[in-house]
Amino acid sequence: MTRRSFLATSTVAAAAAQSTPAKPNIVLVLMDNLGWGELGVYGGGIIRGAPTPRLDRFASEGTRLLNFNVEAQCVPSRAALLTGRYAVRTGNGSVPLETPVYGLTKWEYTMAEMLSDAGYSTAMFGKWHLGQTKGRFPTDHGFDEWYGIPNSSNDAYWPSNPRFRPGAHPFAKFTEVLESRRGEDPRSVKVYDLKARAAIDGEITTRAIGYMRGHAKTRKPFFLYLPYTQPHMPILPDPEFAGKTRNGEFADVLAQIDAYTGRLLDEVDRLGIRDNTIFIFTSDNGAEATMPYHGFNGPWRGTYFTGFEGSLRAPFLIRWPGKIPAGRVSNEIVHEMDLYPTLAKVAGGRVPADRVFDGIDQFDFLSGKKEESSRESLVIYLANQICGVKWRNWKMVTREVDRGFGQPVKDYSFPLWYDLHTDPKEENPLDPRFVENLWVRWPAGQVLVDHRATLKKEPPIPPGTPD
């Protein structure tokens, strides 16, 4: 390296150091229905038709969780993530069917609002799915700016469908790509049809990179929330990736996911903010259930819309150089609700104390100060119904749906029990050896008793409740 190039590099590094905020930047990538087993580092990759080298390398640079838990559907998962509360509490326990008025009421205090109050710039690019009416868009809930879709990707089928009746839905913008800033009503950018569906994740990536470039030069930290739309059905790759793997559309999209994440990581490095940026990659649900778009959950049984591990476990990768151990892998229980208080801890944010709050601060666990998670249990919901409890490696199941949606519901007068160590695929609930371990009904049952007491203390907001 010449003296001139050395001085130039030193000047850039010094400038980046001077502009580095005291609080860490946060980039949260949330995929849509990406199964536990899709990435190479989780046993997928090449066996799914496309290697995932960038995400696999990213996993080695931080911590990988094997038992990161989410809710069973898109809406409740996003509600739980952004509020730190079980979705049933906020009236978002299920994808809305009865009422077009759904989502987060103004009373909820979201992760974005918490980080904004802690001094962060906030932006969201991608899928919202937490409200489609005035007062319930991302920029009404703590985000300074938003570009994306209000609901889900299957809506892209409708604008080009000759049988679709545009006036059938009371809110016309539900089939459009929208854009807004804090304090503004969203404006329509374009119709969200199949062409727009294929292109939107590339647009999300481009906007995210532009956002980071604009904010990395300031002393103010940023929170960048990127709820991508893939690989939710319909799985349509961007033209840049269509046919790239020659292994079908899903493999093309998997390659696309890896490439887009790689571009984000490259930009973090290029901007000199790697050491002061928490970068998280995860998914809102287990794998897609709809044929022929069905996904892969590795060794776990079930798909989203069930209470099986294939629904509840999602991939989770987190990197914060020097703060979170590199190359660490853990099977400790963590829930997506725990991200809220954990990020509040590192950002100096406030966790609301005027309501029942379910998230648990996991910073000491994620930072390697202790090996055990601060959580040992969670309550399993399907829609607004309790279906069981996970306690350590044990699972108590009171209600069961076998696959996806539209399947018969089975209610059990006496719970089924699974030991996820000896029966990870949840195939043998009546193992005769279990009688020796029926003691677990006491700690697992107590989790349910305690949870039901909180529902009496603070009754859930009914779905469709107006502000």
Q: Where in the chain is the domain with CATH 3.30.1120.10?
A: 378-457
What are the b/e assignments for 307-342, b being 16+ CB within 10 Å? bbbbbbbbbbbbbbeebbeeebebebbbbbbbbbbb
Pick from 310, 130, 332: which is nearest to 225 by CA? Answer: 130
Q: CATH 3.40.720.10 in the chain, residues?
A: 23-375
- Strands 313-319, 277-283: pairing kind: antiparallel
451: annotated active-site residue: no
**CATH class of this structure's domain 378-457:** alpha beta
DSSP-derived secondary structure for 96-151:
--S-S--S--TT---HHHHHHHTT-EEEEEEE--S--STT-SGGGTT-SEEEEESS
Q: What is the pLDDT along the chain (467 residues), one digit of tens a residue?
A: 444 443 333 444 444 444 456 899 999 999 999 999 999 999 999 999 999 999 999 999 999 999 999 999 999 999 999 999 999 999 999 987 767 889 999 999 999 999 999 999 999 999 999 999 999 999 999 999 999 999 999 999 998 888 988 777 776 677 899 999 999 999 999 999 999 999 999 999 999 999 999 999 898 999 999 999 999 999 999 999 999 999 999 999 999 999 999 999 999 999 999 999 999 999 999 998 888 889 999 999 999 999 999 999 999 999 999 999 999 999 999 999 999 999 999 999 999 999 999 999 999 999 999 999 999 999 999 989 999 999 999 999 999 887 777 677 888 888 999 999 999 999 988 765 677 888 999 999 999 999 999 999 999 999 889 88
* Catalytic residue of the set 74, 141, 215, 335: 74
Please tell me the CATH code under which domain 23-375 is placed: 3.40.720.10
Residue 129 designated active-site: yes
Q: What is the DSSP string of 290-352?
A: STTS----TT----TTSSSHHHHEEEEEEE-TTTS-TTEEE---EEGGGHHHHHHHHHT----
Considering 129, 141, 215, 232, which one is annotated as catalytic? 129
